[in-house]
Amino acid sequence: MRRRIGLIGAVAVLAAAGCTAGPPAGGGAPVSSPQPATASPAAAAHRHQHDAGRAGPADPARSAEPEGALVVHADEQVRTAFGILVEKFEAAYPGTDVLVEFGPSARHAQHIVAGAAVDVLISGDAAATARVVSASGGRPSVIARNPLVIAVARRDGPVHSVADLRRTGVRVAVCAARTRCGDAARSLVDVHPAVTAADGPAAVAAVRAGTADAALVHRTDIVAARADLPAIDFPAAVQHADQYTVVRLGQDDNRTAADAFVAFTHSALAQRVLSDEGFSPAG
């Protein structure tokens, strides 16, 4: 569902954020939960009628300043982070109006390939990204990663590594098949789960409730569940972390604003917000 993110804050918010955030603490350090983003007024929903209300060709005299409507399709996993970032982008560039639609990357790719007028795609699905780049000639760049981790209730518990997940008596929660965290867990770790959860936050909830000793989830799932639990990294998950890619598509309507938005996703401020939501740096 597309929603209109309202204008808040001031340009000074962007200027004040000058430091680059480091990655979330791993190796048993707690993952802290950010404050929930303030809800914004929703725009009237249109079924991919992106051409309505889009900015026309930029006035040459004002082309250096980002302005006008900008259509962004973003993976559901980045909803909270980009709810914050879109507001800050609009505050930095008051002449812009960013329209965001969140949902599965594969669905976004299908719509873009079919001709939906989209300026920027933020995808967490490598196959979907490749499909869009091939069809549109867009320019992709990685802005964040989302590794699988082992969420545990406490540091002095029975689980300290992947090997511990296979020990007799250790109860492991794994997401259901055909979910992003479930497929990642099954591809990286050979375990027999005691709990099969509907999604990542549900697997985390099993650890908090004491029905599981550990859960194989993405780091962002711990943050989404508002759970201050230790997260244990392991090499295979770090090497095969989900990548979140921003793609500047080939639309000509508002290139200046699209280029500015893509650059903004790589800024220190954007990286800090993504880190607060559990994502690891792109590098």
Q: Where are the domains of the chain?
A: 2-146+243-281, 148-239
Domains 2-146+243-281 and 148-239 share a fold: yes
CATH number at 148-239 = 3.40.190.10
Q: Regarding beta strands 120-123 and 231-232, do their DSSP bridges make them parallel or antiparallel, or are they unpaired?
A: unpaired
Q: How far apart are the first and last CA of the chain?
A: 31
Per the DSSP assignment, residues forming a β-bridge with 246 are 122, 141
pTM: 0.74
Q: What is the 3-state secondary structure (H, E, C) of 215-277?
A: EEEEHHHHHHCCCCCEEECCHHHHHCCEEEEEEECCCCCCHHHHHHHHHHHCCHHHHHHHHHC
Comparing CA positions, the residue from 191, 200, 194, 151 lying closest to residue 173 is: 194
pLDDT at 281 over 70: yes
**Which superfamily, per CATH, for 2-146+243-281?**
Periplasmic binding protein-like II (3.40.190.10)
pLDDT at 283 over 90: no
The pLDDT assigned to 86 comes to 97
The average confidence (pLDDT) of the chain is 81
CA distance 71 to 50: 7
Task: Grade residue 33 by pLDDT with cuts at 50, 70 and 90.
Answer: very low
